[in-house]
Structure 1
Amino acid sequence: MPPSRRRAEPAPDAPGTAEPFWRVKSLEELSPREWESLCDGCGRCCLHKLRDPDDGAVAFTEVACRLLDLRSCRCSDYANRFRRVPDCVRLTPKVVREADWLPPTCAYRLVAEGKDLPWWHPLVSGSPETVHTAGISVRGRAVSERDAGALEDHVVSWPRRWPRGAREPAG
């Protein structure tokens, strides 16, 4: 069951204006446009993960899906991604709540947990570049799967952590 969210009400600092949608709606209540705008463009979910067959633990790699543009950190063929990459995961509210592999900085995960979006999220900052300047994105840290070789040689811990200076928002 999704955490209860407050209904839209005027923000204390701007009489007559409503709270941002991510503060007042559950994931299930989002319009398609709102849903898509929650993606901050970090690319962390597009990194290959390895699951340990013994204990089920998930390890992130620095290896990105072949469709991830390593400069923009966006899918280079978003409209056709499921056809071109059959194991690409379609995020839904149910998937977001059950996935143990979404990074802790993921806006979908934060909203599902009843937390606010951080300062660097484009919906807060007004700029798609802040996700990169805050050190959240995979820009400059990932390698394409076309060039990587064995995934086991590329296990990293940074996608599971909040970068310094980019503290987790309060819930």
Structure 2
Amino acid sequence: MEDFLDLVSIKEGLPGMHMDLCAHYYSACMTTLHRSGHQDGVVLQLDGDRQGNVMLHWEDYFDDCIDRSWQEINYCTDHAAVCVSCMLAINETEYTIVERSCKGDGFDYWLGHKDDILFNHAARLEISGILKENATNTVEKRLKIKIKQTEQSDGSCLPAYISIVEFGEPKAIFKKK
């Protein structure tokens, strides 16, 4: 049985991410999925802490203006991966996004318990995106790099989740370190 990931819902915003920023990430995700030849309902192969298939729900409204807005492919792919990874974090854990981390922390977002109205830091999330895997750039290789990267914040004694999203197939690794 396939799970369902509603990417459109990120546009409502998250406790630590304003809806305007979420809409930006969604736009990048929609653009990347469109450019990769996918349609609403495409199945994401999930690996890591759980293996399975996750059906992605998204709305494709790609046009010339959006195309011109997202010409920097790496920037677009990275931001698309944030959209998918945030929704995976919400779907696959007891956490939600509560704050952007600072540059140099070794991870991208602080996670907090969904029912904690104070949004205390409870875990870390590191994200990476790959447009299309190749022999030198695989999700497995990227996972090793990102696990090492999070070591600089291991002093927090908080769990770290690593999310690597590849859009060509599409597939993702979502793993607790």
TM-score category, normalised to shorter length: under 0.3
Determine which structure has greater relative contact order: mean sequence separation of CA pairs < 8 Å that are 6+ residues apart, divided by chain length. Answer: 1
Whose helix proportion is higher, 1 or 2? 2
TM-score by length of 1: 0.26
What is the TM-score with the length of structure 2 in the denominator?
A: 0.25
> Which has more strand, going by share of residues?
2
In terms of Rg, which structure is larger?
Answer: 1
